[in-house]
């Protein structure tokens, strides 16, 4: 049975659907139960082959992220003029406006004045309709996605070596590998359910060797038998040296190389100079470790590698991928259980996007827009005269073209470029210069909305129906459990609605059919594009997926395929895989006397990207509430910074003020910033104010993993902190302007008392009293229920209380000692004896962080447990921490080690 979107408005029926988690590319199956139009539970699907019922902290908290209508885009909106506020309008009017204004721009400037910027979080059906709209109707290849920031180096790496964009391995291989090489991946945070599976496999077979290649000693690295903390960007030198050792010590499979590959001789000559000693100098790791890694890889019965952004997000991302794949080809470690180069996908459906041609450089069915035959094949399938020849602009190029005025219209869906693209100053210029910015969004607190001329309200998980492909090529049905709120519609429907109007304007004679009755219809049209291609799943439809469950492509003769290339035949012209003679290139931006620190950016355990969804779940906010810059303790000392003090972080493009913390898992000279908090949360333009747009020449993927920065103490003597227990988008809007008025400012969602916003400000001197009064007003504290102000010292201490006597808002300016006590009280703690004692009391200890998100166990409880003599299993038994998803166990073990070393 196919479930069309039309069947959804279910009011009081109880309904339980099998669907898939909307976060990472692991693609865990979930069972979503809804009643009376509300989700009542989300649990792991024991039958789904990606996770067999397990979920990580983010998956387990999915239920808490649903609906939140006061934080959603519920209606279409138009901005009457730049600078004016967005106005709600009828959805049909907004759709007509999009079509009319696009038609106008196409008529005046041609189809390439339009660009689409989409997302690996769209469903395959969404991509399919957008792609047909962009290339088949508008007539431009300017359709790219945030996968350009994410997976495009994996795509080019696979295509250059194996001939097609297909991860050859599967999750089952984690159980069979003898050596697992994890490169540039912090799976413990980013693919936790797969990481749990790897941990279990290693516990069962302790002889399994795990090698982790990451400049930082991450939670993932703690599982490793060997951690190579290489200098950022030096992976190619390392992989070449490993190949050098494999050749020198005779671990290569000459028979496999001769029968199934080409190009080895040239590469062999190239890697000759990459001795372990030479690579050790480049990578900053001992030569012996490189030899050891190569030996373990070479000696393994089955060798598997897992890799993500540490390889892809690099100006040599393709070369890094290729150099890693070489190790597998040279040893025949591919196409058999436990073996293969396995790129883990970041977003839930980045794979589906690659299949549906959701990048400027791809056409549906793994085709190439530069290939005339491929264009003709797709045109025939779509029933259009032809596809555009002009190459499309990729993400960075597209925004550059908008900044110079070449691209006039940008249609952005399910991605937040005003936070996530590098070099935000340029992104801002592009979004301001573009004549028409269409933002198709589900959530309200999103940076990019500030630049929208037209907003289309999007449905989101679990309101959407369609399909999604995970890292192991497995296609699952995503099933809607509830109806979308307000006027929101699934993305494919919004795209199809505009397309129908636009077709009437632009191409009344072309047969471009966008009248799909349901996502099943879109899927049927999409699968036809895979027929006869390497990924062929043309035999799949929703009925088959409902009946057989999730399936891995290629799907032929009624069966999915778990591993590729077992026969040694590759989808290249001559059937041979290719060694590519690639050199080593250092990072694009070298450090210098002025910018001496290497900055890398990445993910935290419980946050997802720019926080739209995870920012709604109390359990997820509490692990790390605010952005901080991590530095090695020696660097803190060198810059005369104490933990928690504010530092000014500067790159050649922008700057940012944040507190610093000591992290001995970093090397001196290396800093880490989480990617999650953009300009909606911090002063200036957020973390990507710093990053640079330099990209890999083949994949066009930007180097988000390395920026040269400078650090100095910010010396801001005045501070304020406020809290508003009103978890709405409007409340946030009232506080937002403060971010741009202070050198240091953060505005973050917090979990206290059911949710709200915390605002923290700092400046060198106290602002004028009028400004403080204005600040109090934006928190609703002009006439507070309680106050202890001292205007002569710029001190404001104000509090509002509910009828039940609980804080609903508070503000502390200049004297912030009461902040912790207030936060504890707001969060359900006991009331103070008197307000005077509260406001003038000694600074209470900092509120301890929640380490275990599933059970809600804080750091102080764990440390007290250790003081009572508990070890990790004792803590699990007594406090319950670590008994949910298990993602926090490494952190708990670290606390046990630290606490024990303090007491011994």
Ligand X SMILES: Nc1nc2c(c(=O)[nH]1)N[C@H]1C(S)=C(S)[C@@H](COP(=O)(O)OP(=O)(O)OC[C@H]3O[C@@H](n4cnc5c(=O)[nH]c(N)nc54)[C@H](O)[C@@H]3O)O[C@H]1N2
Work out whether 79 is an interface residue with ligand X (CB under 6 A).
no
Cis peptide before 274 (omega within 30 of 0): no
Among the listed residues 2, 5, 8, 23, the single contact to ligand SF4 using CB under 6 A: 23
Q: How far is the CB of 527 from ligand SF4 (least distance, A)?
A: 24
**What whole-number distance in Å separates Cα of residue 327 and Cα of residue 341?**
9
Of 224-253, binders to Mo ion (CB under 5 A) are: none
Site string for ligand X, 703-732 (x = CB under 6 A): -xx---------------------------
Among the listed residues 59, 365, 554, 807, the single contact to ligand SF4 using CB under 6 A: 59
Which does residue 55 touch among ligand SF4, Mo ion, ligand X, none (CB within 5 to 8 A, set by kind)? ligand SF4
Q: How far is the CB of 190 from ligand SF4 (least distance, A)?
A: 8
Of 143-162, binders to ligand X (CB under 6 A) are: 146, 149-150
Among the listed residues 75, 218, 512, 630, the single contact to ligand X using CB under 6 A: 218
* Listed residue (674, 629, 668, 626) closest to 647, CA to CA: 629
Q: Find the part of the chain contacting ligand SF4 (CB under 6 A) among 20-28, 403-411, 416-424, 695-703.
A: 20-28
Among the listed residues 18, 24, 401, 753, the single contact to ligand SF4 using CB under 6 A: 24
What is the distance of C-alpha 31 from the center of its chain? 23
Judged by CB under 6 A, the number of residues near ligand X is 58
What is the tally of helices (H) and strands (E) in the chain? Answer: 30, 34
Decide whether 130 or 461 has the Cβ nearer to ligand SF4. Answer: 461
Decide whether 260 or 698 has the Cβ nearer to ligand X. Answer: 698
Work out whether 348 is an interface residue with Mo ion (CB under 5 A).
no
Decide whether 24 or 636 has the Cβ nearer to ligand SF4. Answer: 24
Of 79-108, binders to ligand SF4 (CB under 6 A) are: none
Q: Three-state SS across 234-279? A: CHHHHHHHHHHHHHHCCCCCHHHHHHHEECHHHHHHHHCCCCHHHH
| Cα Rg, the chain, nearest whole Å | 27
Of 270-309, binders to ligand X (CB under 6 A) are: 308-309
Q: Beta strand pairing status for 744-750 and 756-763? A: antiparallel
Q: Find the part of the chain contacting ligand SF4 (CB under 6 A) among 22-30, 179-187, 503-511, 682-690.
A: 22-30
Which does residue 365 touch among Mo ion, ligand X, ligand SF4, none (CB within 5 to 8 A, set by kind)? none
How far CA 646 is from CA of 118, 640, 656, 818, in Å, comes to 36, 11, 10, 20
Decide whether 690 or 892 has the Cβ nearer to ligand X. Answer: 690
Residue with tokens 């989409």, as numbered in its chain: 118
The token duo for 175 is 């159980």
3-state secondary structure of 155: helix
Q: Which residues pair with 601 in a beta bridge?
A: 673
Work out whether 462 is an interface residue with ligand X (CB under 6 A).
no
Q: How far is the CB of 26 from ligand SF4 (least distance, A)?
A: 4
Work out whether 221 is an interface residue with Mo ion (CB under 5 A).
no
Decide whether 236 or 838 has the Cβ nearer to ligand X. Answer: 236
The C-alpha angle 220, 222, 225, rounded to 5 degrees, equals 105
**What whole-number distance in Å separates Cα of residue 93 and Cα of residue 457?**
13
Work out whether 55 is an interface residue with ligand SF4 (CB under 6 A).
yes
Work out whether 600 is an interface residue with ligand X (CB under 6 A).
yes
Q: How far is the CB of 153 from ligand SF4 (least distance, A)?
A: 21
Work out whether 140 is an interface residue with ligand X (CB under 6 A).
no
Among the listed residues 45, 235, 289, 465, the single contact to ligand X using CB under 6 A: 235
Of 475-504, binders to ligand X (CB under 6 A) are: 491
Site string for ligand SF4, 815-854 (x = CB under 6 A): ----------------------------------------
331-368: burial string, b at 16+ Cβ within 10 Å, e else: bbbbbbbbbbbbbbbbbbbbbbbbbbbbbbbbbbbbbe
Work out whether 348 is an interface residue with ligand X (CB under 6 A).
no
**What whole-number distance in Å separates Cα of residue 467 and Cα of residue 448?**
26
Task: Say which residues have a Cβ less than 8 Å from residue 421's Cβ, sequence separation at least 6.
Answer: 149, 395, 396, 399, 427, 688, 693, 702
Among the listed residues 216, 354, 526, 698, the single contact to ligand X using CB under 6 A: 216
Among the listed residues 416, 476, 651, 699, the single contact to ligand X using CB under 6 A: 416
Site string for ligand SF4, 191-210 (x = CB under 6 A): xxx-----------------
Of 307-346, binders to Mo ion (CB under 5 A) are: 346
Work out whether 522 is an interface residue with ligand X (CB under 6 A).
no
Decide whether 22 or 896 has the Cβ nearer to ligand SF4. Answer: 22
The backbone region for 313, taken as left when phi is positive above 0, alpha when psi lies in -120 to 50, beta otherwise, is: beta
Q: Find the part of the chain contacting ligand X (CB under 6 A) among 208-216, 472-480, 538-546, 795-803.
A: 208-216
* Listed residue (583, 686, 572, 702) closest to 629, CA to CA: 686
Q: Three-state SS across 704-763? A: CCCEEEEEEECCCCEEEEEEECCCCHHHHHHHHHHHHHCCEEEEEEECHHHCEEEEEEEE
Work out whether 189 is an interface residue with ligand SF4 (CB under 6 A).
no
Work out whether 612 is an interface residue with ligand X (CB under 6 A).
yes
Q: Beta strand pairing status for 655-662 and 646-650? A: antiparallel
The backbone region for 223, taken as left when phi is positive above 0, alpha when psi lies in -120 to 50, beta otherwise, is: alpha
Work out whether 687 is an interface residue with ligand X (CB under 6 A).
yes
Cis peptide before 462 (omega within 30 of 0): yes
Among the listed residues 5, 8, 39, 56, the single contact to ligand SF4 using CB under 6 A: 56
Which does residue 707 touch among ligand X, ligand SF4, Mo ion, none (CB within 5 to 8 A, set by kind)? none
Among the listed residues 18, 19, 27, 649, the single contact to ligand SF4 using CB under 6 A: 27
CB 489 within 8 A of CB 67: no
Handedness of CA 106, 110, 113, 119 (dihedral sign): positive
The token duo for 757 is 């916003």
Q: How far is the CB of 324 from ligand X (least distance, A)?
A: 10
Q: Beta strand pairing status for 577-578 and 646-650? A: unpaired
**What whole-number distance in Å separates Cα of residue 190 and Cα of residue 187?**
5
Work out whether 187 is an interface residue with Mo ion (CB under 5 A).
no
Among the listed residues 21, 180, 458, 847, the single contact to ligand X using CB under 6 A: 458
Per DSSP (E only), the strands in 568-679 are 577-578, 597-602, 629-631, 646-650, 655-662, 670-674
What is the distance of C-alpha 275 from the center of its chain? 36
Decide whether 342 or 825 has the Cβ nearer to ligand SF4. Answer: 342
Judged by CB under 5 A, the number of residues near Mo ion is 2
Among the listed residues 150, 294, 478, 682, the single contact to Mo ion using CB under 5 A: 150
3-state secondary structure of 213: strand
How far CA 8 is from CA of 19, 124, 460, 461, 516, in Å, comes to 15, 20, 14, 13, 16
Other C-beta atoms closer than 10 Å to the C-beta of 844 total 15
Among the listed residues 26, 160, 467, 701, the single contact to ligand SF4 using CB under 6 A: 26
Work out whether 118 is an interface residue with Mo ion (CB under 5 A).
no
Work out whether 24 is an interface residue with Mo ion (CB under 5 A).
no
Positions that interact with ligand SF4 (CB under 6 A)? 21, 23-24, 26-28, 51, 55-56, 58-59, 191-193
Positions that interact with Mo ion (CB under 5 A)? 150, 346
Positions that interact with ligand X (CB under 6 A)? 24, 119-121, 146, 149-150, 183-186, 189-190, 213-216, 218, 232-233, 235, 308-310, 313, 346-347, 413-416, 419-420, 440-443, 446, 458, 460, 464, 491, 600-603, 605, 607-610, 612, 675, 687-688, 691, 704-705
């Amino acid at each position: 049975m196919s479930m069309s979107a039309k069947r959804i408005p279910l009011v009081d029926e109880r309904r339980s659907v099998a669907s898939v988690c909307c976060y990472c590319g692991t693609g865990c199956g979930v069972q979503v139960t809804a009643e009376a139009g509300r989700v009542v539970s989300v649990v792991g699907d024991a039958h789904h082959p990606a996770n067999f019922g397990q979920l990580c902290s983010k998956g387990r908290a999915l239920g808490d992220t649903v609906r939140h209508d006061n934080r959603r885009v519920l209606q279409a909106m138009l901005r009457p003029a730049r600078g004016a506020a967005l106005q709600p309008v009828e959805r049909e009017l907004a759709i007509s406006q999009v079509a009319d204004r696009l038609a106008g721009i196409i008529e005046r400037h041609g189809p390439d004045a339009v660009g689409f910027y989409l997302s690996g979080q769209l469903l395959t059906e969404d991509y399919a309709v957008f792609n047909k709209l962009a290339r088949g109707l508008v007539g431009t290849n300017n359709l790219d996605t945030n996968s350009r920031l994410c997976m495009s180096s994996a795509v080019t790496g696979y295509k250059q070596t194996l001939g097609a964009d297909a991860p050859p391995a599967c999750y089952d291989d984690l159980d069979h590998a003898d050596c697992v090489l994890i490169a540039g991946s912090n799976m413990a945070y980013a693919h936790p359910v797969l990481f749990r599976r790897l941990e279990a496999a290693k516990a069962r077979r302790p002889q399994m060797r795990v090698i982790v290649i990451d400049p930082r000693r991450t939670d993932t690295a703690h599982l490793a038998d060997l951690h190579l903390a290489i200098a950022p960007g030096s992976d190619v030198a390392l992989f070449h040296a490993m190949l050098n050792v494999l050749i020198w010590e005779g671990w290569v499979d000459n028979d496999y190389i001769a029968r199934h590959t080409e190009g080895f001789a040239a590469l062999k000559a190239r890697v000759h100079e990459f001795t372990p000693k030479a690579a050790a100098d480049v990578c900053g790791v001992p030569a012996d470790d490189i030899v050891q890694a190569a030996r373990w890889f070479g000696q393994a019965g089955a060798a598997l590698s897992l890799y993500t952004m540490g390889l892809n997000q690099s100006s040599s991302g393709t070369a890094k991928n290729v150099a890693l794949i070489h190790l597998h080809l040279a040893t025949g470690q591919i196409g058999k259980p436990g073996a293969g180069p396995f790129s883990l996908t970041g977003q839930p459906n980045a794979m589906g996007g690659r299949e549906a041609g959701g990048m400027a450089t791809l056409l549906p069915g793994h085709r190439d827009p530069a290939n005339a035959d491929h264009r003709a094949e797709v045109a025939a399938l779509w029933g259009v005269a032809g596809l555009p020849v002009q190459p499309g602009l990729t993400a960075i190029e597209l925004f550059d073209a908008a900044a110079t005025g070449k691209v006039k219209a940008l249609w952005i869906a399910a991605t937040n470029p005003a936070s996530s693209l590098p070099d935000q100053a340029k992104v801002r210029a592009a979004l301001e210069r573009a004549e028409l910015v269409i933002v198709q969004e589900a959530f309200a607190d999103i940076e990019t909305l500030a630049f929208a001329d037209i907003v289309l309200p999007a449905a989101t998980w679990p309101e959407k129906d369609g399909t999604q492909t995970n890292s192991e090529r497995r296609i699952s049905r995503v099933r809607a459990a509830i109806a979308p709120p307000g006027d929101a519609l699934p993305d494919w429907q919004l795209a199809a609605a505009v397309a129908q109007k636009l077709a009437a304007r632009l191409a009344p004679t072309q047969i471009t059919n966008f009248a799909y009755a349901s996502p099943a219809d879109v899927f049927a049209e999409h699968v036809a594009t895979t027929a006869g291609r390497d990924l062929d799943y043309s035999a799949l439809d929703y009925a088959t997926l409902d009946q057989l469950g999730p399936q891995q492509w290629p799907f032929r003769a009624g069966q999915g395929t778990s591993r590729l290339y077992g026969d040694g035949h590759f989808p290249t012209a001559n059937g041979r895989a290719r060694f590519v003679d690639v050199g080593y290139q250092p990072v694009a931006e070298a450090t210098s006397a002025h910018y001496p620190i290497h900055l890398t950016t990445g993910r935290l355990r419980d946050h997802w990207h720019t926080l739209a969804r995870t920012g709604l779940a109390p359990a997820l906010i509490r692990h790390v509430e605010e952005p901080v810059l991590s530095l090695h303790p020696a660097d803190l000392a060198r810059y005369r910074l104490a933990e928690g003090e504010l530092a000014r972080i500067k790159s050649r493009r922008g700057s940012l003020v944040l507190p610093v913390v000591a992290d001995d898992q970093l090397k001196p000279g290396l800093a880490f910033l989480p990617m999650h908090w953009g300009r909606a949360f911090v002063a200036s333009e957020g973390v990507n104010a710093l990053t640079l747009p330099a990209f890999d020449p083949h994949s066009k993927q930007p180097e988000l993993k390395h920026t040269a920065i400078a650090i100095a103490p910010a010396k801001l003597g005045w501070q304020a902190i406020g809290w508003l227990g009103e978890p709405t988008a409007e409340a946030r809007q009232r506080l937002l302007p403060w971010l741009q008025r202070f050198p240091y400012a953060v505005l973050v969602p917090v979990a206290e008392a059911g949710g709200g916003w915390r605002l923290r400000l700092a400046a060198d001197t106290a602002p004028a009293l009028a400004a403080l009064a204005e600040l109090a007003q934006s928190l609703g504290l002009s006439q507070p229920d309680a106050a202890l102000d001292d205007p002569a010292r710029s001190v404001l201490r104000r509090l509002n209380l509910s009828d039940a006597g609980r804080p609903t808002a508070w503000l502390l300016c200049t004297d912030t000692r009461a902040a912790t006590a207030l936060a504890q009280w707001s969060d359900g703690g006991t009331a103070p004896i008197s307000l005077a004692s509260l406001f003038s009391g000694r600074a209470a200890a900092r509120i301890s962080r929640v380490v275990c998100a599933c059970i809600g166990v804080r750091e102080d409880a764990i440390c007290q447990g250790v003081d009572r003599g508990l070890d990790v299993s004792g803590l699990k038994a007594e406090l319950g921490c670590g008994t949910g998803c298990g993602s926090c166990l490494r952190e708990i073990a670290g606390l046990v080690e630290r606490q024990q070393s303090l007491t011994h």
